[in-house]
Structure 1
Amino acid sequence: MKVLYLTKYSRKGASSRLRSYQYFPFLEAEGISVTVKPLFDDAYLEKLYSGKKPVVEILKAYIKRFFVLFTVFGYDKIVIEKEIFPYLPSWTERILAFLGVKYIVDYDDAIFHNYDLNPNKWIRFFLKDKIDLVMRSAKTVIAGNEYLAERAQKAGAKEVVVIPTVIDIERYHPKQIFRQDKTVIGWIGSPSTFKYVKTIFPVFEKLAKQYPIEVQIVGAKEAGSVSFPIQFIDWTEDSEVSAISAFDIGIMPLEDSPWEKGKCSYKLIQYMACGISVVASPVGMNSEVVSEGDNGFLAKDAADWFNALEELSNEKDKCRTFGSSGRQLIERRFTVQSQLEKLMALLRER
């Protein structure tokens, strides 16, 4: 069986790496031949993360993908990550469906809000229904959480299957030693999502006046002068697990908005896979992953954040207990190994 994956990014892009690339070795081992054609390459991502506008890279990417589309009939199944051409109408996906291409489309973010909630009135006018039309034309919609699945169902998708964003359990090992001299509060992410962490800087400042803490930030750049100990760590795929394992508490603050409801709580899944206790905003899937008082705490405001971090800083045994409970949850529900059969069944469907 031959499958073509039209991912949005190369492996360097987190969403593509987690929703697509990490499955490829497992699919190949099951006799499924995978060809991947990303829209955007590493050069695009490097410019994007450095704050530059990769206009030339975007133009090249769209031209390259246009020619890739002429090869789709050589495959048994096509998997599209989100959409074929961002910010263009859904004509391409609908033409493929008209020509008999039964494509699967995969979502791990509420990208429909890029269009229906866009501040530009013309984008809203012309593209507000774009993703609904892509979903409706698909053979199957894979959704990373229930919020995304509900949107697909409302759009009239023929088949909707929830497959969460998961980890390869063989890469993650539970934390064994919790240091007693200080508490490391950690976060992993990208420069674009670091803004959520900044909203709780006042909590860190208050906590640092009373307790020996250190905040570790993996994947974002320095944020200027602060009055609490903070360390910025470069992200690499090879080092991310060891970086998380240095945390005592993993955090995932979010704003409560439609976009954030589409997020798939991957940070929490990574923390828990390492046996780390968690504190998170009760937004979207976070409320499903975090079982209050069992594997972590949900914090809706600054007082909740302070109380949760203070309690875990004072009670390292609770960190260990929460971490163990979280690890068990991940082993049951949030691994490549636990979701592989579901994905293979969709790929093999006629």
Structure 2
Amino acid sequence: MPKKNKILFLPKYPRMGASSRLRTFQYLPLWEAAGFDVTLSSFFNKQYLEEHYAKRPIDKGNVLACYKRRWKILRNAADYEYIIIEKELFPFIPFGLEKWAFKQGPQYIFDYDDAVFHNYDLHGNKWIRSLLRDKIDRLMARADQLWLGNEYLAARAQEAGAHNIMDLPTVIDLNKYQLGPVKENATVKIGWIGSPTTLKYLDQLKPVFEGLKKEEAFTLHIIANGQGIGLFDLEKTLYWSEQEEVAMIQQLDIGIMPLNDTPWEQGKCAYKLIQYMACGLPVIASPIGMNKEVVRHGVNGFLASSHEEWTRYLKILLEDPYLRQIMGTAGRKLVEEKYTLEHNWQKIQSYLNINSEVPHL
């Protein structure tokens, strides 16, 4: 018999993994304040993430231990009122071997902020496509509830026959994202923040930066665990940390989010843009997926489809500090209205009928 107010979180990564930090870890104090007995067990561990980010060989023995740990904790699945799963229980394991975990008792909530179904249905290996192409669809259809980060994911879930879908974008804790001091930068700072695995998107803009440097004075700040894209004197690479990321963004003048136009990117949440806007920055982004929802072209930033457009809009913002200020103010207002932790928590409270007397942020 499940125990009321006992909840198990099964994120994919420990706190250093961005998706898990934002989709699970930042909510834990709110769950605990609401009277829930919280248990958490990530699938992968710190060792795996460090190897992955550094592009070192993955320790297969460690990965096997991660699978064993997940099997073990699911033995007591029936003890919980809710089990909230980020993406899937077991990566690259067919649905038929996962479904045993759906026992009577707890409600299973699946949380998606990426198009993980494309890891399978678009995989280069035909055997993986054959075995796993509909795995995520079947999980979505089987779940008691789905929490989805954007419209692309919701459309896929509806096609799969899912029910009880809640729109839950990836958001910021507004208390941590205060507007920074008035900038007195002698040189305008263009900034990008992200994990080492997504530097490929920034790399595609090298010709844009190299061309602009002949006409404009600026520096490119890359906040990504000390890795950059090799633009020499153009570039300043900063070591990301959870404690310092807001202060690093506050020092920027323009925030950017380039993406490739593939099915995977269509399913990405626009978290970088939300971070920039929360700090009062104007933004430029590729018109891909959720970026088109967050960026209101000409109001809080620009959408750029080509190198020519990236060059044009960067040049406009580099040369016009007043426009940067106006757009930054509009972006901050949008975040306050739609993309805050408090806003999402109120949705969750209503969706699960959690006592409304619990204090908000």
- Output the TM-score relative to the length of structure 2: 0.93
Q: Is the 8 A contact 2:147 2:165 kept in 1?
A: yes
Q: Is the 8 A contact 2:79 2:106 kept in 1?
A: no
2:338 equivalent among 321, 333, 336: 333
State whether structure 2 residue 280 is matched by structure 1 residue 240. Answer: no
Q: Give the counterpart letter for 1:123 in structure 2.
A: I
Q: Identify the residue that residue 296 of structure 1 maps to in structure 2.
A: 301
Q: Give the counterpart letter for 2:190 in structure 1.
A: I
Q: Identify the residue that residue 4 of structure 1 maps to in structure 2.
A: 8
- Write the distance in 2 (CA, Å) between the matches of 1:213 and 1:113: 37
Residues 93, 29 of structure 1: alpha-carbon distance in 2 compared, 3 angstrom cutoff: same
Q: Is the 8 A contact 1:175 1:276 kept in 2?
A: no
Q: Give the Å deviation of 1:227.
A: 5.6
Q: Give the counterpart letter for 2:317 in structure 1.
A: L
1:175-214 aligned within 5 A: 175-179=180-184, 181-214=186-219
2:94 equivalent among 75, 89, 99: 89
State whether structure 2 residue 67 is matched by structure 1 residue 39. Answer: no
User: Which segment drifts farther, 51-60 or 152-161?
Assistant: 51-60
Cα deviations by residue, 1:255-296 (Å, 9 ceiling, x for unpaired)? 011000110000000000000110000000000000011100
Q: Is the 8 A contact 1:84 1:92 kept in 2?
A: no
Q: Identify the residue that residue 264 of structure 1 maps to in structure 2.
A: 269
- Write the distance in 1 (CA, Å) between the matches of 2:180 and 2:299: 17
User: Which segment drifts farther, 20-29 or 78-87?
Assistant: 20-29
State whether structure 2 residue 167 is matched by structure 1 residue 155. Answer: no
State whether structure 2 residue 323 is matched by structure 1 residue 323. Answer: no
Q: Is the 8 A contact 1:194 1:220 kept in 2?
A: no
Cα deviations by residue, 1:285-313 (Å, 9 ceiling, x for unpaired)? 00000001110000000011001100000
Q: Identify the residue that residue 30 of structure 1 maps to in structure 2.
A: 34
- Count of residues in Structure 1 that have an aligned counterpart in Structure 2: 349
Q: Give the Å deviation of 1:55.
A: 1.6
Q: Is the 8 A contact 1:207 1:306 kept in 2?
A: yes
How large is the Cα RMSD of the aligned pairs?
A: 1.4
SS in 1 for 2:130: helix
Q: Is the 8 A contact 1:294 1:322 kept in 2?
A: yes
Q: Give the Å deviation of 1:347.
A: 4.0
Q: Identify the residue that residue 312 of structure 1 maps to in structure 2.
A: 317
Q: Give the Å deviation of 1:179.
A: 3.1
1:12-91 aligned within 5 A: 12-52=16-56, 53-91=58-96
State whether structure 2 residue 344 is matched by structure 1 residue 344. Answer: no
Q: Is the 8 A contact 2:254 2:324 kept in 1?
A: yes
Residues 59, 50 of structure 1: alpha-carbon distance in 2 compared, 3 angstrom cutoff: same
- Write the distance in 2 (CA, Å) between the matches of 1:30 and 1:64: 28
Q: Give the counterpart letter for 1:41 in structure 2.
A: N
Q: Give the Å deviation of 1:92.
A: 4.7
Q: Is the 8 A contact 2:148 2:169 kept in 1?
A: yes
What is the identity percentage for the equivalent residue pairs of Structure 1 and Structure 2? Answer: 45
SS in 1 for 2:107: coil
- Write the distance in 1 (CA, Å) between the matches of 2:84 and 2:39: 10
Q: Is the 8 A contact 2:80 2:106 kept in 1?
A: no
Q: Give the Å deviation of 1:253.
A: 0.1
- Write the distance in 2 (CA, Å) between the matches of 1:282 and 1:179: 31
Q: Is the 8 A contact 1:167 1:334 kept in 2?
A: yes
- Write the distance in 2 (CA, Å) between the matches of 1:175 and 1:317: 16
Q: Give the Å deviation of 1:2.
A: 1.2
Q: Give the Å deviation of 1:99.
A: 3.6
Q: Give the Å deviation of 1:72.
A: 1.2
SS in 1 for 2:344: helix
SS in 2 for 1:76: strand
- Write the distance in 1 (CA, Å) between the matches of 2:87 and 2:166: 15
Q: Is the 8 A contact 1:250 1:271 kept in 2?
A: yes
Q: Give the Å deviation of 1:106.
A: 0.3
Cα deviations by residue, 1:134-156 (Å, 9 ceiling, x for unpaired)? 10110011100000011111111
SS in 1 for 2:163: coil
State whether structure 2 residue 222 is matched by structure 1 residue 217. Answer: yes
User: Which segment drifts farther, 197-206 or 336-345?
Assistant: 336-345
State whether structure 2 residue 308 is matched by structure 1 residue 279. Answer: no
- Write the distance in 1 (CA, Å) between the matches of 2:47 and 2:227: 22
Q: Is the 8 A contact 2:78 2:104 kept in 1?
A: no
Structure 2's unaligned 5+ residue stretches are 355-361
